[in-house]
Structure 1
């Protein structure tokens, strides 16, 4: 029998960077997001197919950093229940549950995870009017998942399982080099969050769901024609069964177009360990460029200077 979980879904990823204008132009003109709200040096970007007020928040700052990752809860009571649990478990809060002043309002709490990232959990955020993405329309439907680098990934995975009740879907390993990525879910999607082994704490990548394979390929082609640096793809993963094309945004963050992420049966799913020495595990289609040190290095990203420091917004 399924058990109720306090976190329901992924909401948005908030990032900061010095060259705000270049980043804003990329996400709106190239990547396909829509600005719904803005202020001086801050932009809230929605995916046309998503009811979330925004899926990416850009903020101008002298330093590049990840401000926070946000997840949803069903009710304000669930936010309070989670906060009580975190407090008892010794998790450091950024702020107590309170009304939010970001687009859509709502009620939320912020806290630091074990690596020092800021996590927000909120409820009662007003949904935005969204629409069905049409055939051949190569813009994101929603934010699919985010992946974080950690130099202590086993501890980080255990933190999210213990404190936020994420469930392990699958693990990747590279032969004798051992395990290096853990896929975590908070609903029947194979993963909304994942942790990768990296040399330092940083954003690994943010992934955006497309309408289907044709729209995924059209979006991939738009990036290639626009000479956006490709990291890896196009291909199709084995774990999660989703397509992938990875690119670098102007600030050097890796972003992904994907589609057809697997849905799992929460009551019967059993995690597996997939070995990337098998080429079909890396890419079922065999169409992507080779997974190598170049690909891995791009996704290590820069050291995040914002650990255990609350963002100003």
Structure 2
């Protein structure tokens, strides 16, 4: 059976300070609120056909609610659900109609670390447009990185059950492997798994139009007083630019651009030694990667592990 997952759709967060979080994403970060309900906000990127790329939900506890991926057809959704069921993976919901913006057909399940994952097909395409030159707002969702206490096991789970392929690995002589970049299409990574002390969100990344727009957006965030964790710089693995900031609840969010697209037939994964400065930042413009920078991305212990979100 070929790969059933096609791409990353959206990442959903729950937070106590809903209004502050909403103001950040719909304001300085540059997303557009397209739908809202009591304690729920759906935020889209102007350049993306996805109905929304971030959902915010008001909750007493901060958590990662959901990571959602797309599939080509309802039949693929059913096939994946059957495959996971047979493998003993816990399904949170059976395949059926979705009542989120754009509808569609999908289901939810827990991954190895207890995160809730959704896979859906037939979601209506949102009217979107080309992002203009110098327009420094996200074009689309780029990728999500998840912290796992068992890096190798989580990588193997995504390879076995969801057909993700390994693109590259970050490692160092004294720490061993710390990050696996995983793909579900020719984009270098839609998902990466980072070695963390606990299960949590590492960061959410947003694709900008180009280098100029990426830098303008980074500058706007710096001027807004948002905390710049790391950047601006350019990674070696994936060849993409990076500026990492903290949202009001301490989740790390990234502006990026020019993430590599691979020829999947010929690509061979490399192991990059991140103790070499040019691996973490080819340009040498970012602040040095150190334990303080790394710690910001560990995030808080996720309270949503093996607990499905209420909506």
TM-score norm. by structure 2 comes to 0.99
Does the 8 Å contact 1:10/1:145 carry over to 2?
Answer: yes
> Runs of 5+ in structure 1 lacking a partner?
none
Partner of residue 59 from structure 1, selected from 57, 60, 68: 57
Pairing 1:194-233 to 2, within 5 Å after superposition:
194-233=192-231
Which residue of 2 is the match for residue 173 of structure 1? 171
1:304 lines up with 2:290 in the alignment: no
Alpha-carbon displacement from aligned partner over 1:56-108 (angstroms, at most 9, x marks no partner): 00000000000010000000000000011001100000011010000000000
Does the 8 Å contact 1:143/1:209 carry over to 2?
Answer: yes
Distance 1:303 1:268 in 2: 39
Pairing 1:133-212 to 2, within 5 Å after superposition:
133-212=131-210
Which residue of 2 is the match for residue 77 of structure 1? 75
Give the superposition deviation at 1:110: 0.3
Partner of residue 130 from structure 2, selected from 129, 132, 154: 132
* SS of aligned partner of 1:300: coil
Give the superposition deviation at 1:177: 1.4
Distance 2:240 2:16 in 1: 33
1:11 lines up with 2:15 in the alignment: no
* SS of aligned partner of 2:61: coil
* SS of aligned partner of 1:86: helix
Distance 1:175 1:33 in 2: 40
Which residue of 2 is the match for residue 105 of structure 1? 103
Distance 1:22 1:176 in 2: 40
1:266 lines up with 2:264 in the alignment: yes
Give the superposition deviation at 1:175: 2.1
Does the 8 Å contact 1:175/1:276 carry over to 2?
Answer: no
Which residue of 2 is the match for residue 281 of structure 1? 279
Distance 2:276 2:16 in 1: 40
Distance 1:115 1:127 in 2: 31
Of 226-235 and 169-178, deviating more is: 169-178
Give the superposition deviation at 1:150: 0.6
Matched positions, count = 311
* SS of aligned partner of 1:155: helix
TM-score norm. by structure 1 comes to 0.99
Distance 2:195 2:213 in 1: 31
Partner of residue 36 from structure 2, selected from 35, 38, 41: 38
Alpha-carbon displacement from aligned partner over 1:241-273 (angstroms, at most 9, x marks no partner): 000000000010000000000000111100000
* SS of aligned partner of 2:136: coil
Give the superposition deviation at 1:4: 3.5
* SS of aligned partner of 2:103: coil
Which residue of 2 is the match for residue 88 of structure 1? 86
Which residue of 1 is the match for residue 235 of structure 2? 237
Alpha-carbon displacement from aligned partner over 1:28-53 (angstroms, at most 9, x marks no partner): 11100000000011000000000000
* SS of aligned partner of 2:12: strand
Which residue of 1 is the match for residue 113 of structure 2? 115
Distance 2:308 2:196 in 1: 23
Give the superposition deviation at 1:124: 0.1
Alpha-carbon displacement from aligned partner over 1:181-230 (angstroms, at most 9, x marks no partner): 00000000000000000000000000000000000000000011011001
What CA RMSD, in Å, does the superposition of the two structures yield over aligned residues? 0.7
Distance 1:276 1:152 in 2: 19
